[in-house]
């Protein structure tokens, strides 16, 4: 029971912080994005990465094999 009470207190404290931040600094997000930073962004500073599938979907053949093994079991 104590965990949920502590969670509620932390959430309330964070909410007060964000309200205070909004009043001091103005709104965090706006309806109109600022494209100035996007236009001046240097893509050459990005590192090259290799994308790998962590959990690939099964092939059609694998699905068929599993269906056949389930029907015979």
pLDDT of residue 53: 82
pLDDT of residue 2: 55
Q: Is the pLDDT of residue 12 over 70?
A: no
Model confidence pLDDT, tens digit, residues 17-59: 555 544 555 555 666 777 888 888 898 999 999 988 888 889 9
pLDDT class for 61, splitting at 50, 70, 90? Answer: very high
Q: Which residues neighbour 66 within 8 Å (Cβ) at sequence distance 6 or greater? A: 58
User: If you average pLDDT over residues 1-14, what whole number do you get?
Assistant: 64
Q: Quote the pTM value.
A: 0.28
Cα–Cα distance measured from residue 65 to residue 4, given in angstroms and rounded to the nearest whole number: 46
What is the chain's length?
Answer: 73
């Amino acid at each position: 029971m104590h965990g949920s009470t502590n969670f509620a207190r932390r959430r309330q404290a964070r909410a007060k912080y964000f309200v205070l931040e909004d009043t001091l600094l103005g709104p965090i997000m706006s309806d109109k994005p600022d494209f100035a930073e996007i236009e001046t962004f240097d893509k050459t500073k990005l590192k090259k990465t290799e994308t790998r599938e962590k959990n690939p979907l099964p092939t059609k053949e694998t699905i068929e094999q599993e269906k056949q093994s389930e029907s015979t079991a």
